[in-house]
Amino acid sequence: MSLSVLILIDVVAILVLTFGLYWPRHRRKSMVVAYLTANIGVAAVASVLSSSSINAGLGLGLFGILSIIRLRSDELDHTEIAYYFGALALGLFAGLGGSLSWATPVMTLAILAALYVGDHPALFPQFRNQIVNLDSAYTDETALVMRLENLLNAKVHHANVRKVDLVNDTTSVDVRYELPRANPRWQSTDTTPAVIGEER
C-alpha cells in the first residue's frame, strides 16, 4: 500500500477520532490540538524512520518517552489518555504501515470502533466517579458509605478514603457510584472534587 494512501487513511481517521468522537463528547479544546499534532508528527517521523537507516526502535522509544512526559505534565483522565494513544497508534500505522497492506485500514477501524463503543454515552450511563470532601471525619466505613448514599442519592459501589483529617474534622473520599435510572442521563460526569457539607 502506497504512502500517500496510508497518509490519506490516517488523516481521515484522526479527523474522525478528534472531531467525530472526542470533541462532541468531551469539548476540551486543548486536547484537539494535542491529538492532531501528535498524530501527524508521529506519522511524519515514523515514515522517515522507515525509509532511512536510523533504527526504528530507537525512534519509537523516543516517542514513548515524550508521550509519557506529555501525559505527566497535565491532568488527563483515562478516557483522554485512551484517545491520546489512539492518535499515536494511527500515526504509527500511517508511517510504518507500508508492509502491513490491508491490515492497516483494518486496525485503524478497530481503534475507532473501540473508542466509539468504549466511550459511548449509552454505555453505563448511570455510573459516576467523583472525589467528595465531607466536613466530618469518618473512620467507620459503613457509616461513611451510608452517608455518601444519602448525600448522592445513589448506590455506592466503591469508596476509597483518600484522607481523614481528625484535627479539621474532614474526610476526602474517591466515590464510584450508580445513579437511579430515573435520573437524567445528561448529568455531569466531572470528577473534580465536590465539597458536601453536613448538618451539625
Please state at what angle helix 3-15 crosses helix 78-96, rounded to 10 degrees. Answer: 160
pLDDT at site 46: 78
pLDDT tens digits for range 144-161: 999 999 999 999 999 999
Q: What residues have CB less than 8 Å from 109, skipping those under 6 apart?
A: none
Amino acid in the structure at residue 81: I
Q: For the whole model, what pTM was predicted?
A: 0.73
Q: Give mean pLDDT, residues 97-120.
A: 85
Instruction: Give which of 170, 151, 172 is closest to 161, Cα–Cα.
Output: 172
Give the whole-angstrom CA distance, residue 198 versus residue 132: 12
Residue 98: is its pLDDT beyond 70? Answer: no
Q: Give mean pLDDT, residues 66-95.
A: 78
pLDDT at site 33: 93
173 touches 160 (CB < 8 A): yes
Give the whole-angstrom CA distance, residue 159 versus residue 108: 37
pLDDT at site 186: 42
Residue 175: is its pLDDT beyond 90? Answer: yes
Report for 43-52, 107-116, 176-185: range of highest mean pLDDT: 107-116
Confidence label for 183 from pLDDT (cuts 50, 70 and 90): low
Report the mean per-residue pLDDT for the chain. Answer: 82
Give the whole-angstrom CA distance, residue 165 versus residue 161: 11
φ/ψ (deg, to 5) at 71: -70, -30
pLDDT at site 4: 83
pLDDT at site 6: 87
